[in-house]
A = this chain, B = another copy of it.
C-alpha cells in the first residue's frame, strides 16, 4: 500500500507538504497542490486511518452491539445508524451479542482493543458488564445505550417510552373487555430485567386486573421460545384471552402456535405485539401492533454518540420516544364463554 512518503517522492516534495494537500490544502501553493493531488490519484493513495488515530488520539471508529441481528428492529437500527455515522466520517464495528452477556464481554474487549471512540450498546440482559463499560467510559469512550438499560445505568440513552406503550396496549385490551391477559416477555428481575415486562403487573393493578402467576414464564426473546410458551399457556385450565408480545419475534412464535392449535384471531384469542414488522400486515387478520419509530431512534442514537465524542464531559442525555398503537383486527372482545369464567 502506498503511503504519504510514496506520494511525496512522486510529487517531488516532502512528506509534510504532501500530507498538507489533504489536511491543509489552503497552505500550499496552487502548483504544488496540483502536483501532489495528481500523485495521490495516480497511486490511489488512501491515508492509513489506524496510524492517524494512533498518533492523534482521535479514533474515527464506533462500536455497535445489538441483541440479535435477525430481529428486524436491530437490522434497521444497524442500517440507519451505519448510514448516519458514515455521513459524519465514522466507521462502524458491528457485533451481535445474541442476548448473551458472555458474548458481549468478549465483544467489548475487542472494541477496546480497537480503541473505538464511542459505543452504542443494546446490552445483553443483566448488569455483569456494567463495570466494564464504566471503565471504558472513564477511559474516554463515549457510551450511548439503546432500546434497553443496564440496571443503574448512568449513561446517555435513546429508549422507547416502554411504560407508556405497555399502558397504551393494556388499556386497549382492557377496553375490549379482557381480564385474563398474558404478557410474553422476560419475568426475571435480575437476569432479564426489561421495562416492558416489569411495568406489566403495576399497570394491570391500575386497571383493577389481577395478574395470573401461572402466566409468568422466564424466556429469552426468541420466536422459538414464544412458540413453546404459548402452547403452555393455552394448555392451562384458565388460558389467557389476550396475548401481549413484547417483541415482534415473540409475536411471530405466538402466532404460529395459535394457528397450529386452530385458534382464530380475534374470535378465539386476541394478539397484540410490539414492533410493526412487515409480516404483521401480511397475515390475516393483520396484527395489532405498537409501532416503534425505529428510524428516528436510530438517527437520534447516532447523533448522540457523535455529540458525546466531540464534546466530552457533557451530562448524560436521556431521550424517550413514543410508540404508536396501530389497530388492525387481531384484537376483539373475548368470547362470552371466556368472559363468564
Chain A residues in the interface with B (C-beta under 8 A) = 1, 44, 46-51, 53-54, 61, 68-70, 72, 75-76, 78-79, 82-83, 86, 91-96, 98, 106-107, 109-110, 112-115, 132, 135, 139-140, 223, 252, 255-256, 259, 278-279, 281-284
Contact = CB atoms under 8 A, between A and B. Distances in A.
Given A78-B96, A82-B95, 4 more contacts: A46-B113, A72-B72, A78-B78, A83-B98
B70 A86 contact: no
A241 B24 CA distance: 63
B86 A75 contact: no
Contact of A106 (B53, B86, B92, B96): B86
Nearest to A71: B75
Contacts of A255: 282
A268 to B, nearest CB: 15
Contacts of A132: 44
Specify how many copies of this chain sit in the oligomer.
Answer: 2
Contact of A96 (B46, B61, B79, B256): B79
A94 B96 contact: no
A107 B47 CA distance: 14
Nearest to A108: B46
Contact of A283 (B49, B93, B135, B284): B284
Given A70-B72, A282-B283, A86 B95 contact: yes
Contacts of A83: 96, 98
29 contacts: A1-B139, A1-B140, A46-B109, A46-B112, A46-B113, A48-B54, A50-B50, A50-B53, A54-B54, A68-B79, A69-B69, A69-B75, A70-B79, A72-B75, A75-B75, A82-B94, A82-B96, A86-B107, A86-B110, A91-B93, A91-B110, A92-B93, A92-B94, A92-B95, A252-B282, A256-B282, A259-B282, A282-B282, A283-B284
Residue among A46, A51, A109, A223 with most chain B CB within 10 A: A46
Nearest to A141: B1
A91 B114 contact: yes
A49 B53 CA distance: 12
Contacts of A47: 113
Residue among A47, A50, A110, A279 with most chain B CB within 10 A: A50
The 7 closest A-B pairs by CB, nearest first: A279-B279, A50-B50, A94-B94, A49-B113, A69-B79, A46-B112, A75-B75
Contacts of A76: 69-70
A75 B259 CA distance: 27
A184 to B, nearest CB: 16
Contacts of A72: 70, 72, 75
Contacts of A283: 279, 282-284
A139 to B, nearest CB: 5
A48 B115 contact: yes
A275 to B, nearest CB: 13
A254 to B, nearest CB: 11
A49 B1 contact: no
A49 B112 CA distance: 9
A107 B82 CA distance: 11
Contacts of A78: 69, 78, 94, 96
Contact of A49 (B51, B115, B139): B115
